Structure 1
Amino acid sequence: MSLTYLTTAELSERIKYDPRTIRDCLKDSVLIEGVHYIRPFGGRKILYVWERIESDMVRSSDESIAIPMANGGFCHG
């Protein structure tokens, strides 16, 4: 499977968030290293994995209209 790697600036254009918001608010709270972004070759540069971010954005929007239940499920009613 081929993945799309984006810089912070490229990601900000796709999701319409300021690059500073991505770096200061989303990174390491919503976007997790090793899942949503990587640091290639152990460097400082960060590359975001678009397919994983897009998948989680869609999944969380589907769950946002549901009420979480104690057993881990959701009430959609």
Structure 2
Amino acid sequence: MNQKYLTTEELSECIKYDSKTIRRKLKDTVLIEGIHYFRPFGGRKILYIWEQIEEDMFKVPAINTLMAGVH
């Protein structure tokens, strides 16, 4: 495996979003555990998979993703 793993702070620098925004709004809505991030050794630390995030940033979102925050 030749993937680049990033901490929340490192991901923040790459995508120009505040690390708090990543933790509170993107994690588990746009960034999904097992696809975009994982917890090594079952711990609390989160590592983001840069290649998957970069690929998905350019995809057109599905309508259910767009409507997720609308109530």
Q: TM-score, structure 2 length as denominator?
A: 0.83
Task: Letter of the 1:19 partner, please give it.
Answer: S
| Aligned residues between the structures | 63
Q: Distance in 2 between matches of 1:58 and 1:14?
A: 14
Q: Which has the higher contact order (CA 8 A, sep 6+)?
A: 2
Task: Letter of the 1:50 partner, please give it.
Answer: W
Residue 11 (structure 2) aligns with: 11
Residue 20 (structure 2) aligns with: 20
Going by fraction, where is strand more abundant, 1 or 2? 1
Q: Deviations over 1:2-25 (max 9, x none)?
A: 110000000000000000000000
Q: CA deviation at 1:59?
A: 1.6
Gapped runs of 5+ residues in structure 1? 69-77
Q: Distance in 1 between matches of 2:58 and 2:21?
A: 20
Gapped runs of 5+ residues in structure 2? 64-71
Equivalent position SS for 1:9: helix
Residue 51 (structure 1) aligns with: 51
Identity of aligned residues (%): 67
